[in-house]
Structure 1
């Protein structure tokens, strides 16, 4: 088998060789590592735990391995290749196919609807994440249908798009509804006949004898048993021969015994003892059989209906995707299918239209409603050069945009894939339910057998009848599916709710652990601050500011760091041209160096000055310190080994950061800023926000080291960051939180992504985690208590004191509604206010 992972920390071919060698030394592993992109492809005979791979890399150096996807490229959100045994995310290829909601067979999917061969539950359709291809037709000639917009070949009229189907018909629900109708038609007469025969002076006995009415009940029960409820017996048989015992095992055994007993009593009444007879005829249980099967069928019908609602978040996201766009070609507008858009196409977005793909505005300006992506209701002003996102809604102005990400690369598509994967992953708490469910059915069968034996020996007359009825009630009321559904239903709804609020969760484990976090490590630039730094001033000791600005701006044009871009923008606004740079090198966590106009220029922090052996004069150091104490980020400038000035950059703190940090600290979370910035600047920010603490002058490995130290102290650490240099720390933290405005590598390394890139999203994530975990515990409590109490009552433990027994029919009704109650409780999360 082949797996692909991201490797962070490699900076040269020597690193690549070292990583490849370390991984190849693991028994059974064949590794191939590339530097661009920084990924490793592993070929193994069996699955190798990721912690084993990481252990080998720690021995080789400061390298981090994390989940990846095969198509690395530039997508914001990737489809994870599972390396965590808790993750059961469906692959992208499962889109539109059927899977078991309890993941009995892991990632296995089916092309057609049916029931799970392991647990017997109805398979659920995975949402189809691919945008539907538009079909065009003619209003005059509806028999015409083609993929592209054009003219009708018969009458010449413009073809119009066929109306897309918003939601595919739920075939499982439709099939169950049909069976339910059949079951009711035949069950109700059987129930009426059976109940009426119990009354004295029954008028029915004047029409036919009791034996004749028993034959009528038998005939009416056949469609219920062999059509409407036959699937339950098939599932029970599959579960027994495969020894994957489940709810349908108990239903099949209980109703099967009751039905066969009734047939035997009808055909061979003389072989039965008097204890089984009433008014001279054997007491039959045709009505119990059909009523139980009908009630179980009702429960399945309600579950199928509820399952459709759990995927509501993804369905709502699917509705956001537009189906066509206006392409500008040769200066003219042409309406095309969204599937035909190519990168680099110029598209016109008219007032009120949905933006078709991700890209940037090239002409015009407008106000964009991004609430459906970020969860924020206030429209955002956009102008030339600003990014626009597929699925968001244009305001009242028209603009032209260039397509940059299309198809599955768009943010909307990636969000849908991430939500789809996460909603089908397994939380660690699920292990408890899985362990209990494994022994549940055999235990219930044993309890049922003991119930029959104990009642037959010690119960009141007719003891054998009491034992038989109570044993069936025990089998019927037990519901392992309520246990199995308790966690996945809450996770599915919770993840969808998070996506609607701009909080994207990679898997259920992250959702569970977010509730346990007690330390938040956060970067400064782009996380606490807006990430839109601007140059305040450039200082030169010899007053040659323009020449110095030209040198550092030319150097920074090759860097992707936000501070570098701020310097370039400042130079352009001052109409200073950029010149050629040789020997450019970006030194992680320190700055950049290169040769500009035959002079060696270095721009960065104090550690960079130490690395290139530059001494800074006391006067210059004093000026720099004064800027830093104002909360400014200051970069030293050195030319040919001499410190000649500095650039002072400000980056405003996000207004929401103050409120978010205050709320997190109120919830008992320590908030620590770790930044590569200097101590004065870090302290100014920490003091303004009243943080627990700060660590300045940090390199990427320092962030990693600090997180390991805190984890060694027993802390549950969350790390929030947005840059490439944050990726190792994000991967090491218990919960890595990436800002959606950050780099792809940071997002790939994180467990949670905040679409808006705002610390307020962390508060939302914690609130969501708390609500989901509370909901899961409620579900598990309901399931446990229901089974413990229900089985006890069905076995007759209340009879000696209270005289209470449980009819198998009431047991069936209770069992059917137990799973439904778990699903309904999970659906309450949809109304959660984050």
Structure 2
């Protein structure tokens, strides 16, 4: 009352305080009251000590039940914290091993992970091969095969083979720690729908106090002082807005916890609410619709007498070795597989979305996308491409199909060959897109690949719209273009190159790859880079918002029914007035019902 911020305890304090003060007055100064208030048999004025005591007890009981239920909503965080083992086996340079506390493990150390043992922290396998159950972190039910060079996540369960790993991240830097932090922040955040409850609560308590005063006056005039006090206290107690206050945060806490256990990390509650309204989802091609593991299908030379396939591949791989693009890695891996020579490269240059270049033995070697045919583009002027007829390339070799990515290799301005790279479509992509269509959601593919490749993939998957040959800096403009058409857009990307588009979208969804989690650039992070994760996130959003609306309905309906009954509207019909103790029990039950409904989210079927 001092801070002009009334809440549920304001009503309880006024109600129990009124009952207690009245009772004390009847005990110590009974002469103040008229004889009409005295009991006909005992001659004693009725007091309400037991009502004040029982109401206080029931309120405390309700608080205890609420705290117990809240502890269940945070069970997801507790389970995540329990995933990491307490110790780790460190392998020293001399080959000796020692089991130490996980808190003392440092980045760069070598750990031995034994069969059926939990992985202590994030790192990379340096020796051995195994299969790891990542379901507790990513939601992926099938064990994932891991070989030397593969990343492993702390808290996951090793299979039946031992391996050595190099520690890369420890403590707060690990994926598990980031997940726990993110879930905690999301559970403390507020969804926009909470503003409705806040707005109602701001006027609710003063309104209830006014209703209690009116009930007191009416009963004092047409009944008695005893009935007036009973009615006023009952109104104050039964109208306690605790159920209203619990309606949204309880559902958010349970929903975000359930999401974390299924590989869907919600950064803030607002995103969970907005995702339900999304009607357009923009996705990248590589790694989302496709496996993200491109491989070379063909190496083509335009003049075999001067440049063999091996030479074309060697020159391309030598330059691409300095690039981090997935297609570049595919070319390098093919060169290693064929055991061709890798040359020393000088003056390496790279323009995102255009290509790479470098000097090998004094010759200018360039690898550019097959859809870049001239140097007339302003961006391409930074890394001029060779002039080449697209039709000539596509007709040169039957292995060049529309659904493959084409890299053109030139030497001192002359085309010497091309390399085709294919990325298989994920088996789950078509089913996921069909399901999104059934839910009335438009799927848009945005990629830097050439139009022919993008169209071929889109045609096979039934994608509604394609934005091809899009530079990273133009992706945000494409999202804005969709929004200008009145669409509610969710953008799914890697969270780094796509950061502007993720920020522009109504809901930004980042895919986590290994331990490189792009949490800061997104509203939602999916631990598995595929459309199934988007479906899970949307289902979680719809179920959580449905649960919140149910809770708010329960809370509002309870008060709309309870307050008039407590005020005594049924007395003329049944001749009974609601006891304050019954009102307190009903108030406690309303909170428990909201909590129980929120906990049902733990059984959501993804």
Give the equivalent residue in structure 1 for 2:334.
570
Give the equivalent residue in structure 2 for 1:639.
411
Q: Is the 8 A contact 1:592 1:604 kept in 2?
A: yes
Structure 2 residue 151 is the aligned partner of structure 1 residue 398: no
Task: Calculate the TM-score normalised by the size of structure 1.
Answer: 0.69
Distance 1:254-1:349 versus aligned 2 partners, 3 A rule: same
Structure 2 residue 182 is the aligned partner of structure 1 residue 418: yes
Q: Is the 8 A contact 2:320 2:328 kept in 1?
A: yes
Structure 2 residue 376 is the aligned partner of structure 1 residue 376: no
Deviations 1:632-655 (A, max 9, x none): 111222222223221100101111
Structure 2 residue 584 is the aligned partner of structure 1 residue 819: no
Q: How does 1:160-309 map to 2 (within 5 A)?
A: 240-279=1-40, 280-309=43-72
Shift of 1:441: 1.2
Give the equivalent residue in structure 2 for 1:697.
469
Distance 1:255-1:510 versus aligned 2 partners, 3 A rule: same
5+ residue gaps, structure 1: 1-239
Q: Is the 8 A contact 2:130 2:160 kept in 1?
A: yes
Q: Is the 8 A contact 1:563 1:649 kept in 2?
A: yes
Which SS does the other structure have where 2:537 is aligned?
helix
Q: Is the 8 A contact 2:547 2:597 kept in 1?
A: yes
Which SS does the other structure have where 2:53 is aligned?
helix
Shift of 1:501: 0.6
Shift of 1:754: 1.1
Deviations 1:24-52 (A, max 9, x none): xxxxxxxxxxxxxxxxxxxxxxxxxxxxx
Give the equivalent residue in structure 2 for 1:140.
none
Give the equivalent residue in structure 2 for 1:547.
311
Give the equivalent residue in structure 2 for 1:783.
555
For 1:282 and 1:350, locate their aligned partners in 2 and report how far apart those are by CA, in whole Å.
Answer: 77
For 2:501 and 2:532, locate their aligned partners in 1 and report how far apart those are by CA, in whole Å.
Answer: 21
Q: Is the 8 A contact 1:625 1:680 kept in 2?
A: no
Q: How does 1:101-140 map to 2 (within 5 A)?
A: none
Distance 1:275-1:774 versus aligned 2 partners, 3 A rule: farther
For 2:325 and 2:386, locate their aligned partners in 1 and report how far apart those are by CA, in whole Å.
Answer: 23
Distance 1:663-1:500 versus aligned 2 partners, 3 A rule: same
Give the equivalent residue in structure 2 for 1:607.
372
Deviations 1:276-309 (A, max 9, x none): 2213221111121111111112111111211111
Q: Is the 8 A contact 1:726 1:746 kept in 2?
A: no
Shift of 1:724: 3.5
Give the equivalent residue in structure 2 for 1:532.
293
Q: Is the 8 A contact 2:153 2:515 kept in 1?
A: no
Deviations 1:730-749 (A, max 9, x none): 22111111111279585431
Shift of 1:594: 2.4
Deviations 1:697-741 (A, max 9, x none): 111233221210111122110111226432221221111111112
Which SS does the other structure have where 1:241 is aligned?
coil
Distance 1:736-1:303 versus aligned 2 partners, 3 A rule: same
For 2:101 and 2:517, locate their aligned partners in 1 and report how far apart those are by CA, in whole Å.
Answer: 31
Give the equivalent residue in structure 2 for 1:507.
268
Deviations 1:608-660 (A, max 9, x none): 74321521136633237965644111122222222322110010111111111
Greater relative contact order (CA < 8 Å, ≥ 6 in sequence): 2
Structure 2 residue 122 is the aligned partner of structure 1 residue 350: no
Q: Is the 8 A contact 1:724 1:743 kept in 2?
A: no
For 2:66 and 2:373, locate their aligned partners in 1 and report how far apart those are by CA, in whole Å.
Answer: 62
For 2:398 and 2:37, locate their aligned partners in 1 and report how far apart those are by CA, in whole Å.
Answer: 98
Deviations 1:319-356 (A, max 9, x none): 10110011111101111111111111111111111111
C-alpha RMSD over aligned residues = 1.8
Shift of 1:779: 0.7
Shift of 1:485: 1.3
Deviations 1:432-452 (A, max 9, x none): 111111122111111111111
Give the equivalent residue in structure 1 for 2:104.
340
Shift of 1:675: 1.0
Give the equivalent residue in structure 1 for 2:421.
649
Structure 2 residue 566 is the aligned partner of structure 1 residue 794: yes
Which SS does the other structure have where 1:749 is aligned?
coil
Q: How does 1:742-821 map to 2 (within 5 A)?
A: 744=516, 746-821=518-593
For 2:396 and 2:88, locate their aligned partners in 1 and report how far apart those are by CA, in whole Å.
Answer: 52
For 1:618 and 1:356, locate their aligned partners in 2 and report how far apart those are by CA, in whole Å.
Answer: 52
Q: Is the 8 A contact 1:609 1:636 kept in 2?
A: no
For 1:624 and 1:668, locate their aligned partners in 2 and report how far apart those are by CA, in whole Å.
Answer: 43
For 1:399 and 1:436, locate their aligned partners in 2 and report how far apart those are by CA, in whole Å.
Answer: 58
For 2:69 and 2:452, locate their aligned partners in 1 and report how far apart those are by CA, in whole Å.
Answer: 56
Which residue of 73, 84, 89 corresponds with 1:321? Answer: 84
Q: Is the 8 A contact 1:327 1:348 kept in 2?
A: yes
For 1:268 and 1:672, locate their aligned partners in 2 and report how far apart those are by CA, in whole Å.
Answer: 79
How many residue pairs end up in the alignment? Answer: 592
Deviates more, 1:373-382 or 1:469-478: 373-382
Distance 1:709-1:471 versus aligned 2 partners, 3 A rule: same
Deviates more, 1:590-599 or 1:563-572: 590-599
For 2:141 and 2:259, locate their aligned partners in 1 and report how far apart those are by CA, in whole Å.
Answer: 15
For 2:365 and 2:323, locate their aligned partners in 1 and report how far apart those are by CA, in whole Å.
Answer: 14
For 2:316 and 2:347, locate their aligned partners in 1 and report how far apart those are by CA, in whole Å.
Answer: 14
Distance 1:387-1:703 versus aligned 2 partners, 3 A rule: same
Distance 1:260-1:683 versus aligned 2 partners, 3 A rule: same
Q: Is the 8 A contact 1:373 1:392 kept in 2?
A: yes
Which SS does the other structure have where 2:535 is aligned?
helix
For 1:479 and 1:625, locate their aligned partners in 2 and report how far apart those are by CA, in whole Å.
Answer: 78
Distance 1:550-1:625 versus aligned 2 partners, 3 A rule: closer
Deviates more, 1:654-663 or 1:802-811: 802-811
Deviations 1:107-127 (A, max 9, x none): xxxxxxxxxxxxxxxxxxxxx
Which residue of 386, 403, 408 corresponds with 2:172? Answer: 408
Q: How does 1:414-563 map to 2 (within 5 A)?
A: 414-457=178-221, 459=222, 461=223, 463-543=224-304, 544=307, 545-563=309-327
For 1:692 and 1:554, locate their aligned partners in 2 and report how far apart those are by CA, in whole Å.
Answer: 39
For 1:555 and 1:737, locate their aligned partners in 2 and report how far apart those are by CA, in whole Å.
Answer: 33
Which residue of 476, 484, 504 corresponds with 1:732? Answer: 504
Deviates more, 1:623-632 or 1:379-388: 623-632
